[in-house]
Structure 1
Amino acid sequence: MTSQPSLAKEDSTPSGPVKSQPGSGNGDGDGLKAGLKNRHLSMIAIGGVIGAGLFVGSASGIKAAGPAILVSYALVGTMVVLVMRMLGEMAAARPSSGSFSAYADQALGRWAGFTIGWLYWFFWVVVLAVEATAGAVILNEWVPAVPQWGWALIVMVVLTATNLVSVGSYGEFEFWFAGIKVVAIGGFVLIGMLAVFGVLPGSDNPGDGFKHLTDAGGFMPNGAGAILTGVLMVVFSFMGSEIVTLAAGESEDPQRAVTKATNSVIWRIGVFYLGSIFVVITLLPWNDKSIVKDGSYVAALNSIGIPHAGQVMNVIVLTAVLSCLNSGLYTASRMAFSLGERGDAPKAFARTTSAGVPRTAILGSVVFGFAAVWFNYQWPKTVFDFLLNSSGAVALFVWLVICFTQLRMRGIILREQPEKLVVKMWLFPYLTWVTIGMISFVIVYMLYDDAGRKQMVLSLLVGALVLGIALVREKVAPRERVSE
Structure 2
Amino acid sequence: MALGSAIGTGLFYGSASAIQSAGPSVLLAYMIGGAAVFLVMRALGEMAVRHPVSGSFGHYASRYLGPFAGFITGWTFAFEMAIVAIADVTAFGIYMGFWFEDVPRWIWILAVVMLIAALNLMRVKVFGETEFWLSLIKVAAIIAMIVGGAAIVVFGFGLPDAANPGLDTMLGSGGFFANGFWGLLASFSIVMFAFGGIETIGITAGEADNPKKAIPAAVNTVPVRILLFYVCALGILMMIFPWQDINGETSPFVQIFDALGIPAAAHILNAVVITAAISAINSDIFGAGRVLYGLSQEGQAPASFARISRHGVPWMTVATMAVVLLAGVVLNALLPESLFTIIASIATFATVWVWLMILLSHIAMKREIKRRNLPASEFGVPFWPVASYAALAFMVFIVALLGIMPETRVALIVGAVWIAFLFGAYRLWVRGEGLVRADLVDETYDAGAQGTADNRV
Instruction: Identify whether the pair has TM-score above 0.5, normalized to the shorter chain.
Output: yes
Aligned ranges for residues 64-213 of structure 1 at < 5 Å?
A: 64-139=21-96, 142=99, 148-198=105-155, 206=163, 208-213=165-170
Moved more, 46-55 or 379-388: 379-388
Which of 167, 174, 182 is the aligned partner of 1:217?
A: 174
Contact 1:283–1:303 (CA under 8 A) maintained in structure 2: no
Q: State whether structure 2 residue 207 is matched by structure 1 residue 261.
A: no
> Which residues of 2 match residues 319-338 of structure 1 at below 5 A?
319-338=275-294
CA distance 1:138–1:67, shift in 2 (3 Å): closer
Matched, 1:457 2:413: yes
Deviation at residue 286 of structure 1 after TM alignment: 2.7
Q: Which amino acid aligns with 2:391?
A: T
- In the aligned structure 1, how far is the partner of 2:159 from the partner of 2:250? 19
Specify the alignment match of 1:53 in structure 2: 10
Using the TM superposition, name which of 142-151 and 233-242 deviates more: 142-151
Q: Compute the displacement of 1:437 (Å).
A: 0.7
Matches within 5 A, 1:293-442: 295-302=251-258, 305-353=261-309, 355-377=311-333, 390-410=346-366, 418=375, 421-442=377-398
The range that moved more, 324-333 or 100-109, is 100-109
Contact 2:196 2:351 in 1 (8 A): yes
Task: Please tell me the residue identity of whatever aligns with 1:459.
Answer: G
Provide, for residues 200-244 of structure 1, a one-character-per-residue CA deviation record: whole Å limited to 9, x for no partner: 666658454322343322221222222111222322111111122
Q: Could you tell me how far apart the structure 2 residues matched to 1:113 and 1:83 are?
A: 17
Aligned equivalents of 2:111, 2:256: Cα separation in 1: 32
| Cα distance in structure 1, aligned partners of 2:94 and 2:189 | 26
> What amino acid is aligned across from residue 84 of structure 2 in structure 1?
V
Which SS does the other structure have where 1:425 is aligned?
coil
Number of paired residues?
438
Query: One-letter code of the match for 2:151?
Result: L
User: Please, which moves more after superposition, 425-434 or 407-416?
Assistant: 407-416
1:21 match: none
The question of whether the paired residues in 1 share the 8 Å contact of 2:98 and 2:250 is answered with no
Would the alpha carbon gap of residues 249 and 356 (structure 1) be closer, same or farther in structure 2, given more than 3 Å must change? farther
Cα deviation, 1:120-153, whole Å, max 9, x if unaligned, reads: 2122223333333433454476578987545433
Q: Which residue of 2 aligns with 1:444?
A: 400
TM-score by length of 1: 0.80
Shift of 1:290: 4.8
Residues 347 and 177 of structure 1: is their aligned pair in 2 closer, same or farther, counting only changes over 3 Å? same
Confirm or deny: 8 A CA contact 1:204 1:305 kept in the other structure. Answer: no
* Residues 169 and 247 of structure 1: CA distance in aligned 2, closer, same or farther (over 3 Å): farther
1:471 Cα deviation after fit: 4.3
Q: Deviations over 1:398-436 (max 9, x none)?
A: 1111110111234567879958x4321112222111111
Rounded Cα–Cα distance in structure 1 between residues aligned with 2:310 and 2:210? 21
- 2:43 alignment partner AA: M
Cα distance between partner residues in 2 of 1:140 and 1:202: 25
- 1:375 and 1:54 map into 2 onto residues whose CA distance is 22
> What displacement does 1:58 show?
1.6
Do the aligned partners of residues 149 and 258 (structure 1) sit closer, same or farther apart at CA in structure 2, a change above 3 Å counting? same
Report the aligned-residue RMSD. Answer: 3.3
Check 1:214–1:472 CA distance in 2 against 1; reply closer, same or farther (3 A cut).
Answer: same
Contact 1:390 1:462 in 2 (8 A): no
Partner of 1:270: 227
- For residues 349 and 106 of structure 1, the distance between their equivalents in structure 2, rounded to whole angstroms, comes to 23
Gapped runs of 5+ residues in structure 2? 438-454
State the alpha-carbon separation in 2 of the partners of residues 62 and 106 from structure 1. Answer: 40
SS at 1:118 equivalent: helix
- Partner SS, residue 230 of structure 2: helix
Q: Decide which of 182, 188, 201 is 1:244's aligned counterpart.
A: 201
Output one character per residue of 1:8-64: Cα deviation in whole Å (capped at 9) or x when no partner: xxxxxxxxxxxxxxxxxxxxxxxxxxxxxxxxxxxx354442121211122222222
The one-letter code of the counterpart of 1:83 is V
Which runs of no fewer than 5 residues in structure 1 stay unpaired? Answer: 1-43
Secondary structure of the residue that 2:220 maps to in structure 1?
helix
